[in-house]
Amino acid sequence: MKSSGQKIIPPEILLNAYSQGIFPMSESRDDTGVGWYSSRVRGIIPMDSFRVSSNIKRIIRQGRFECRVNTCFRRVVEECADRNSTWISELIINSYEVLHLARHAHSVEMFDREGNLAGGLYGVTLGAAFFGESMFRHQKEADKAALWHCNEILQKNGFILWDTQFYTEHLAQFGCVRISRDEYSRLLKNALMKEVSFKF
């Protein structure tokens, strides 16, 4: 279903959609509307199976990047949208900024030692579910470091579902697996019964 002509998607509509496993995507950066989607085969990252390479672990130990949370949310989303082909439109950016102000959307940011934003990711939280939306990098491995920190935050705060929406070979290297829509619905229902916070 396509909806258009809005300045923002109201937070209550977004959250109701996520509670049913539905998420919005635009067709391009300039698209003024969104389509609503629900994957038949879902991608999730089981947090106890999350993995990164030894190189990423070494980068974390060395403190090459400083992790910050929610200090420049809109900028992270705009950086995620800054590519040749994107589903993140101005409508998406504005809508998720409002969702961020309502404390249901969060960014994990990697800064280098000179204070430059090197990479990051953002996602939506509802109950004990985290819906990963997009990530970017300006420096090598900064996006993977952001994923590592995100997993730490989710585990520390008791999240029980990390939804990646789609399964990709890229995400598979971090432990992403395919599950059926029925299995996903069961996990989502359990996650929505628990209230946790996205605290760094």
Are 121 and 148 within 8 A, CB to CB?
A: no
Distance separating alpha carbons of residues 141 and 36, to the nearest angstrom: 31
Average pLDDT, the chain: 95
pLDDT at 39: 86
pLDDT at 5: 53
pLDDT at 2: 55
Distance separating alpha carbons of residues 132 and 171, to the nearest angstrom: 11
- With both helix axes pointing from N to C terminus, report the angle between 90-101 and 73-81 in degrees, rounded to the nearest 10: 160
pLDDT at 200: 92
- Please determine, for residue 48, whether its predicted confidence score (pLDDT) is greater than 60: yes
8-22 confidence digits (pLDDT tens): 999 999 999 999 999
CATH topology of domain 2-192: Aminopeptidase (3.40.630)
**Does the predicted TM-score (pTM) go above 0.75?**
yes
pLDDT band at 7 (very low <50, low <70, confident <90, very high): confident
Distance separating alpha carbons of residues 176 and 49, to the nearest angstrom: 8
Determine the average pLDDT of the residues in 38-64: 95
Long-range (24+ apart) CB contacts under 8 A made by 132-136 are 132/45, 132/162, 132/163, 132/164, 132/165, 133/80, 133/96, 134/77, 134/80, 134/81, 134/88, 135/80, 136/76, 136/79, 136/80, 136/82, 136/83
95-132 confidence digits (pLDDT tens): 999 999 999 999 999 999 999 999 999 999 999 999 99
Q: What is the phi/psi pair of residue 152, to 5°? A: -60, -45
**DSSP H or E stretch at residue 61:** helix 54-62
Say how many CA atoms lie within 13 Å of 194 toward its Cβ. Answer: 16
Helices (H), 83-180: 90-101, 142-156, 169-172
